Structure 1
Amino acid sequence: MAQFVRGLIFASLGSLIAGQTINTAKGPVAANKNTVAPAAAVVPASTTKSNFDWENVQLTPSVLANLTNLNLTDISLFNFPTAQSVSARSASTSQCKVFPGDAEWPSPIVWEILNLLSGDALIKTVPLAAPCFSSWPEYNATLCATITSLWNTPQLHVADPTSTQWPLWEDLTCLPPSLRSEATTCTLGGYASYSINVTNVAQIQLALNFARNLNLRLVVRSTGHDFAGKGIGAGALSLWTHNLNDLEFYPSYTYGSYSGPAFKLGAGVMTEDVYALAEANGVTAVGGECRTVGMAGGYIAGGGHSPMSSLVGMAADQVLSIEVVLPNGEFVTADANTNPDLFWALRGGGGSTFGVVTSLVIQAYPKVPVTTMTFDFTMSSTLSADTFWNGVRAYFTYFAVFPDAGTYGYFNIVPNGAGGYTFTFDPFWGGNMTKPQLQTLVAPFLKDLSDLGIPVAPVFTEYASLRPAWNASFPPENVGGWTNHAASRLFPRENFENATLLNETLAAVRYAIEGGAILVGYNIKSAVNPHANQNNSVNPAWRKTLTHFILPGLWDANATFATIQNVSETLTNDWIAKWRAVSPGAGSYFSEGDINEPDFQQAFYGSYYPQLYALKQQLDPYGLFYAPTGVGSEDWYVTGQIPYVPTQNGRLCRTS
């Protein structure tokens, strides 16, 4: 559908460039897609590293020199920065990014030139649900029915260049009407105005130069699996990297001090793709729980927790090298020896901040068995609330024992529909464990539950490797919803080894759930791994934690923004405030944290924040990259916000 829409848009603009010429070093030539696009050159492949072929397709000064002047617009809009241009930007009095409707907003001709230079890769945004609205040319009742039926499936949103899997942060301006009674109109809202369907490095460089020189907002989107709206933005030019999905396995790979199996991932590669290739080659990869997480995108950039983390550490710890386009348009390598500060920052310091990652290399591990355990228990006429919570406390007492043995406990506490709550393992994951080994490990915990009078019927399932265990344990995620807003906390080890702190932690958790939230819990740690490079910017709280607790506050599908605001404020200032109080100085997981987190710098980045901020100013003096709660985001704000519901539907402006 996107290709069809793109064709309709730019066919009508073709007449705008008819008869126009471009002055080149060889004289004037007619302006059309054969002579202008793509503005790229194939650079010689390096003998010291293995780029994907499309990474060698780059925008070079010589390419730009061959396009000295467009009769339609100034080719300098696509130039790399100079010292003079940086100085001019610093001296600019413009406090806001250029927005649609401004006099400085690029004309249709200028957008068409960008399209031609990028090889017909520009897509004008049509919201995913637009076929449901007669006000849009794309209106199609049959297509609307299909979109509506698939709305909660991640693949639908992944395949769209602009849609986000969590539309609350877009501002709910274009939803299938049958899913929300207030969805009577469809506008762009917080979606980007245009996207580049990225298939090579040159297109990224063109877009960065274009956005920087024209003072446009820029966003980067891979799969749209984004809990805080980092990949969307009103009036933005978006880089859609999802189709950079090359994936290679190297049985024997040597890089620096590492020698062993490895994967090279394009920026659009998803967890499910990596796990499949790992299984086919008899190795284990450190990846996410959710299928459509973009491994080389925000996942690793934010640190990346994994079912393997209690064994080998975070996903960011596994990275050997990274290819990245910097804010100035330069394409560079970052590793332990080349651009080491950048390498440190890109592994944990957040996405859409320091540049656009095109690919990275991660190490792999031998194939390991996995055994899972599932069971649940629920409040009922025979199981009181206090007994239920004593059962939860019994589990908490093992929060150090279990991850120290390499396990990963994934569980939920949710309302049971009868005024009580249900605890469910989804599952308890024993990495590198056989069934007898896991049964022996959990036997004391199961006895504690039995002694409390809590009957459980654990089901143990042994798998030969990670992928079949993951495939059976984690079905495709349910996305596209707007009925909750989540916060998270990384509770440190002492909260579970100190009886007083354990009781205070349990009381804070119980208070939030009985107040109306639900708990998505992970009993997990970031293992010390001498065979991985753990000198990175992953939040130091991860190195001390035994949990990643996510706490969603809830409302119904037709809730007003006033209700959403109220629940979100309660989440931040009441429920999670109590969690912060019993874990002072700890932190929260950047990728699944509260967009309203107070002192987000400390919570998401810890003691590393000053170093990250300094590097951000050094690499991006233009203010090109912005993401909510990202490094340096305190220097910007989005206009027209509802307190505690900070959508990206507004103009991006500097705070001072």
Structure 2
Amino acid sequence: MYRPDIFLTLIFFAAQEVVGSNFPFEAVQLSEADAKSFPAIGFGNTKAGPPPGSTVPQCRAWPGSHDWPSDAEWKQLNISLGGALLKPLPAAAACYQGENYNETTCQWLVTQAGRTRFWIDEPLSTLTQWPQGSTCTLAMNATGTCTRGGFPEYVVNATTVTHIQAAVNFARNKNVRLVIKNTGHDFGGRSMGAGALSIWVHNLKSFEFIPEYSIGQYSGMAVRVGAGIESWEMFNHMAANNITVVAPGGATVGSVGGWIAVAGHGSLASKYGLGADQVLSINVVTADGRFRTVDPHNHEDLWWALRGGGPSTFGVITSVVLKAYPPINITSVSLSFSVNPSLANGTILPGIPPPRPNAPSTTDLSAFWRGVSLSYHDCIHIITAGGYCFSYIYPLGPSSFAYSTSHTIPNITSPAFTALLEPLYTQLNTLSIPVTLPASTSLTPTLYAGNGRRTGTGDTPINTRYRSRLFPSSVWQSPSEFEALFSSIRVGVEEGGYTFHGIAYSPTLEIAGWPGANSAVNPAWRRTALHGSLMEIQPEGISAAEAKRRDERAHGYVARWKELTPGAGAYMNEGDPAETGWQGSFYGGLYGRLVGVKRRWDPWGLFWARTTPGSEAWEVVTRDGYPAGQNGRLCRVVR
């Protein structure tokens, strides 16, 4: 007999999904009563236009301007935040004569802070200094005065969703520039801004392992990760729970937020895909101040855009749910060689691993470059096996260079790895490059999660500039195209004097799976075999004219890459904030759709960061026109 009650019950149980619960800090949310008692933190309405007769401000409020919030309003905001509003001085202020001068503190900052977690745990600083404007550089016996420059005016130390909601609403209602920061791993100045209110999510450190999680087509293990979790912390949680999670390679890089919002690459990209491919659910505070859970069944356009469509653009992520996998073993082999090391008089860029001491060498410059070319070409076999290659080419002086790489493959036997690498080493030996393939017995796999005792220390602010490109795998199928591309890399190092950083991987659509294959990740990623970057240190305090000249020079070398790889793109997190044609480079053909989502969810343009969807409608007006700097007022572009 047909029983409607049983039929409906079966449908109900079939549709149930195990989605877990939010973190306790996410349960602490701003109420309508809170907003009513202090209208400046009242919620927004994306469907309501500006009040009749009102004018749209052409610039964000600026300290000292008529529309800058009063001291009483900042004080009331701090009360609403329970004391979480900070106004920290730039750390380097201790090095400048005046009331904040402290010789002991300055000396410690200069000589010791980089060996600790100071800069990662500091609310203002970012690890790339140049966008700040060099108004308070760190140095013993510093001269001049220290000013805030591109550092935010206030910082909210967010430890609950309420803190984030109140900050978002206050910035929107009071026309204050808003930025978002975690660890400060930021090569483009996105997490700083003069005259801004900064939401600092660094202390949202919650983590949960979920043994059984089901949503849509996915059923398996998962983890819920707070927005402040760093990669080293993620690895410790992996070890504690005997699992594998795709995470950033740098120990102190944030595992949520900007990493997944711009794809997120790492050592398992060819095995499990990009960071954005792992996401199953996202908790986020949007520009209207509302806290939302965004997943395949809720707010589908926002769900699509948050995974790869740009950081600091659509909201403030508080936590995500990511796929988790059984523990895996990885095997890695290092390879280094140099040419004319006795002639070397160059220096290695700060923050870059130096070439291996006493590496095998040759005096034949042509043989060196031929060997490097062979190594990059051979990486196609590594990524086909689910691995990746991580490499640098270092300019050391006239006709002196070093090359260093590591080949890493998950879940491969030692004999199989040896057989895979042997042809490359044979070819290198033929070129009289005396490298030795490690014996099969010495290739000991290690657990990807490590031993669970990582600490995440040793970062210090530097002025690294990246200019990058995603080189498509099709180049490896054509000897002439590969030779032309490698020649352009060589010219950038040999003639330009840049360090080349290459990471080979292949995060295809097939590897991305569900739901990763349907996201705002730049389609160029799915055709990529190598992420290549030209790197340099931008000197402190150079003029705007000199900065522009350096940009134009670097763009000249990257232009050749673009000519050889039409339709390819670049990785925004390790890209150039002054990239020409960044809309296509960073987002591909998805850019127009992303701008539509941005306008729908943030009609105020509240969330702004350079080279993010819709950001061309605004610009930072610096006094001297310094390119891509953040030391200036944020204003609408007049067309």
- Of 610, 615, 626, 1:628 maps to 610
1:485–1:568 contact (8 Å) kept in structure 2: no
- Answer yes or no: is 1:551 the counterpart of 2:534: yes
| Whole-angstrom CA distance in 1 between matches of 2:109 and 2:437 | 39
2:274–2:512 contact (8 Å) kept in structure 1: no
In structure 2, the CA distance between the partners of 1:586 and 1:236, relative to structure 1 (3 Å rule), is same
Partner of 1:652: 634
**SS of residue matched to 1:312:** coil
| Whole-angstrom CA distance in 2 between matches of 1:630 and 1:412 | 28
| Whole-angstrom CA distance in 2 between matches of 1:84 and 1:267 | 29
| Whole-angstrom CA distance in 1 between matches of 2:227 and 2:180 | 11
- Matching residue's letter, 1:391: G
Number of residue pairs matched? 596
- Answer yes or no: is 1:161 the counterpart of 2:141: no
**CA deviation vs aligned residue, 1:93-122 (integer Å, no higher than 9, x gap):** 421001011011111111000000011000
Partner of 1:352: 312
Partner of 1:450: 429
- Answer yes or no: is 1:334 the counterpart of 2:315: no
Partner of 1:264: 224
Partner of 2:205: 245
**CA deviation vs aligned residue, 1:512-542 (integer Å, no higher than 9, x gap):** 1111111111011104236542211111110
In structure 2, the CA distance between the partners of 1:336 and 1:469, relative to structure 1 (3 Å rule), is same
1:641–1:647 contact (8 Å) kept in structure 2: no
- Of 566, 570, 573, 1:584 maps to 566
2:44–2:287 contact (8 Å) kept in structure 1: no
2:502–2:530 contact (8 Å) kept in structure 1: yes
- Matching residue's letter, 1:57: V
| Whole-angstrom CA distance in 2 between matches of 1:468 and 1:48 | 28
151-160 or 504-513, which deviates more: 151-160
1:516–1:554 contact (8 Å) kept in structure 2: no
In structure 2, the CA distance between the partners of 1:476 and 1:417, relative to structure 1 (3 Å rule), is farther
- Matching residue's letter, 1:359: S
List alignment gaps of at least 5 residues for structure 2: 1-16, 343-361
| Whole-angstrom CA distance in 2 between matches of 1:249 and 1:579 | 43
2:382–2:408 contact (8 Å) kept in structure 1: no
2:161–2:318 contact (8 Å) kept in structure 1: yes
In structure 2, the CA distance between the partners of 1:563 and 1:82, relative to structure 1 (3 Å rule), is closer
**SS of residue matched to 1:320:** strand
**CA deviation vs aligned residue, 1:539-591 (integer Å, no higher than 9, x gap):** 1110000011121134556766554443222112x111111111111000011
**CA deviation vs aligned residue, 1:358-405 (integer Å, no higher than 9, x gap):** 000001111111111112111128432211111122123223222011
2:621–2:635 contact (8 Å) kept in structure 1: yes
Partner of 2:500: 519
How far apart are 1:150 and its partner, in Å?
3.6
Correspondence list, 1:113-512, <5 A: 113-135=76-98, 137-152=99-114, 155-178=117-140, 184-380=144-340, 382-417=362-397, 419-425=399-405, 427-459=406-438, 461-468=443-450, 478-482=459-463, 484-512=464-492
In structure 2, the CA distance between the partners of 1:537 and 1:555, relative to structure 1 (3 Å rule), is closer
Partner of 2:521: 538
**SS of residue matched to 1:293:** coil
**Larger RCO: 1 or 2 (CA < 8 Å, sep 6+):** 2
2:180–2:200 contact (8 Å) kept in structure 1: yes
**CA deviation vs aligned residue, 1:393-447 (integer Å, no higher than 9, x gap):** 212322322201111100100023464110011x221222233222111111111
Partner of 1:53: 24
**CA deviation vs aligned residue, 1:278-307 (integer Å, no higher than 9, x gap):** 122211110111011111110011110010
Partner of 1:63: 34
In structure 2, the CA distance between the partners of 1:47 and 1:55, relative to structure 1 (3 Å rule), is farther
- Of 567, 573, 596, 2:550 maps to 567
How far apart are 1:151 and its partner, in Å?
4.8
108-117 or 76-85, which deviates more: 76-85
**SS of residue matched to 1:519:** strand
Correspondence list, 1:597-636, <5 A: 597-636=579-618
90-99 or 292-301, which deviates more: 90-99
Partner of 1:24: none
How far apart are 1:191 and its partner, in Å?
0.4
1:127–1:174 contact (8 Å) kept in structure 2: yes
Partner of 1:11: none
- Matching residue's letter, 1:94: P
How far apart are 1:337 and its partner, in Å?
0.9
462-471 or 293-302, which deviates more: 462-471
- Matching residue's letter, 1:434: T
| Whole-angstrom CA distance in 2 between matches of 1:55 and 1:339 | 19
88-97 or 439-448, which deviates more: 88-97
| Whole-angstrom CA distance in 2 between matches of 1:304 and 1:612 | 18
- Of 87, 110, 114, 2:73 maps to 110
| Whole-angstrom CA distance in 2 between matches of 1:434 and 1:369 | 10
How far apart are 1:254 and its partner, in Å?
2.5
| Whole-angstrom CA distance in 1 between matches of 2:587 and 2:264 | 14
- Matching residue's letter, 2:559: A
Tell me how large the CA RMSD over aligned residues is.
2.4
512-521 or 395-404, which deviates more: 395-404
**SS of residue matched to 1:358:** strand
**CA deviation vs aligned residue, 1:322-379 (integer Å, no higher than 9, x gap):** 0001100111111011111111111101111001100000011111111111121111
How far apart are 1:475 and its partner, in Å?
8.6
**SS of residue matched to 1:158:** coil
TM-score, length-scaled by structure 2 = 0.89
| Whole-angstrom CA distance in 2 between matches of 1:90 and 1:293 | 46
| Whole-angstrom CA distance in 2 between matches of 1:502 and 1:91 | 58
Partner of 2:61: 98
| Whole-angstrom CA distance in 2 between matches of 1:385 and 1:643 | 42
| Whole-angstrom CA distance in 2 between matches of 1:172 and 1:589 | 26
- Matching residue's letter, 2:425: L
In structure 2, the CA distance between the partners of 1:84 and 1:442, relative to structure 1 (3 Å rule), is closer
| Whole-angstrom CA distance in 1 between matches of 2:575 and 2:74 | 36
**CA deviation vs aligned residue, 1:26-72 (integer Å, no higher than 9, x gap):** xxxxxxxxxxxxxxxxxxxx99641111101111213334x2xxxxx
| Whole-angstrom CA distance in 1 between matches of 2:179 and 2:619 | 15
2:465–2:538 contact (8 Å) kept in structure 1: no
- Matching residue's letter, 1:53: P
Over the matched positions of the two proteins, sequence identity in percent amounts to: 36
List alignment gaps of at least 5 residues for structure 1: 1-45, 68-74
- Matching residue's letter, 1:331: F
| Whole-angstrom CA distance in 2 between matches of 1:410 and 1:88 | 54
TM-score, length-scaled by structure 1 = 0.86
**SS of residue matched to 1:416:** strand
| Whole-angstrom CA distance in 2 between matches of 1:206 and 1:576 | 43
238-247 or 275-284, which deviates more: 275-284
**CA deviation vs aligned residue, 1:429-468 (integer Å, no higher than 9, x gap):** 1222233222111111111111222111345642331133
